[in-house]
Amino acid sequence: MNTQDLSVAKGTHLAVQNAHARNTGTELKPEWFEDIAINRSATERRATTLTARRTVKKEYQAAWLVKAITCIDLTTLAGDDTAGRVQRLCAKAKRPVRADILEALGLADANITTGAVCVYPTMVGHAVKALRGTNIPVASVATGFPAGLTPLPQRLAEIKYAVGEGAMEIDIVINREQVLTQNWEALYDEIVQMREASGEAHLKAILATGDLNTLRNVYRASMVAMQAGADFIKTSTGKEEVNATLPVSLVMLRALRDFGEYSGQVVGFKPAGGMKTAKDALNWLILMKEELGLPWLQPDLFRLGASSMLGDIERQLEHYVTGRYAASSRHALA
């Protein structure tokens, strides 16, 4: 198949590391979120119709899928993680698409990589070593992931340990009880301390939205996390019964947009958990573009917390190049 040059991919749809000032947070301002009202049916209708009415085809779809790869936090968070598994994950992060496919797409020299590699704190050192010489950051979960119910001093110590090992991004998990009991001051104070413990590492606050019961709580928790200085807000740990969904993501993006209007600061977004296919990646890219615009289609402001979807994206790209669907076994797994 004679593929067309993916000029869109080579331009705005490749990884561009824009320099944004970090979120310095604000004072706790309950008036920004306490009286929020959210219409669940309208939210679900907007999320459903948005992805049904918007689509990308042919070379544009291929370009968007390449863009999605550059925004993936390639992740392993298993109890049986080993140094070898992390090294394989990092090798996939450095070369997420087979060389022959990239060459056919006209992207052989584009240095396509994933947005980051995400591991447990004790695996950070292995990832840092495996990614040496690249621009791929290592992200580490911390703060008693996934429950977040260990004592605060231990959670802060875990952040400092991961940073000391070389993590450039810290994915903390909030205490859901503080949201469910509306103890906003306690939630704010804890995240402020976590932000301080992270130092120069960017802080991504996991809200575990599947545990928060209402969309109103999702909005409020998003706003408190951003006021406390989170550089990203993230939907899920991937361990809840319900993880990233489009309606929840829409509410978080509206909170992110409101925070930007109130404070003048820019915060990123990361959906995570339950996303497995190339279609999922396209749906979230469409949501980001429609709600926040092209600046949020860069890995410094948008990440996809997923690993299994990478195999399907690579398979779809091969279909674009050859016109045939390959067996999944043809694409190396992380």
Over residues 73-82, the pLDDT tens digits come to 999 999 999 9
Q: What's the token pair of residue 332?
A: 């190396």
Phi, psi of 191 (to 5 degrees): -65, -35
What are the DSSP calls for 171-189, one per residue?
EEE--HHHHHTT-HHHHHH
Identify whether 171 is a catalytic site residue. Answer: yes
143: left (phi over 0), alpha (psi -120 to 50) or beta: left
Residue pLDDT, tens place only, 122-169? 999 999 999 999 999 999 999 999 999 999 999 999 999 999 999 999
CATH fold of the domain at 31-330: TIM Barrel (3.20.20)
Say which residue the tokens 């705005």 belong to.
Answer: 12
Q: How confident is the model at residue 16 (pLDDT cuts 50, 70, 90)?
A: very low
Of 234, 280, 289, 312, which one is the catalytic site residue? Answer: 234
Task: Let me know the angle formed at the C-alpha of 108 by 59 and 97, rounded to the nearest 5 degrees.
Answer: 75
Residue pLDDT, tens place only, 305-320? 988 899 999 999 999 9
Per-domain residue ranges for the chain? 31-330
Q: Spell 127-149 as b/e; 16+ CB within 10 A means b.
A: bbebbeeeebbbbbbbbbbbebe
Of 270, 280, 289, 300, which one is the catalytic site residue? Answer: 270
Specify whether the CB–CB gap between 142 and 171 falls below 8 A.
yes
pTM exceeds cut of 0.85: yes
Q: What's the token pair of residue 234?
A: 């993230």
Other beta carbons within 10 angstroms of residue 256's beta carbon come to 22
Specify whether the CB–CB gap between 121 and 161 falls below 8 A.
yes
Of 73, 92, 94, 171, which one is the catalytic site residue? Answer: 171
Identify whether 270 is a catalytic site residue. Answer: yes
Q: How confident is the model at residue 334 (pLDDT cuts 50, 70, 90)?
A: low
Predicted confidence at residue 326, as pLDDT, reads: 74
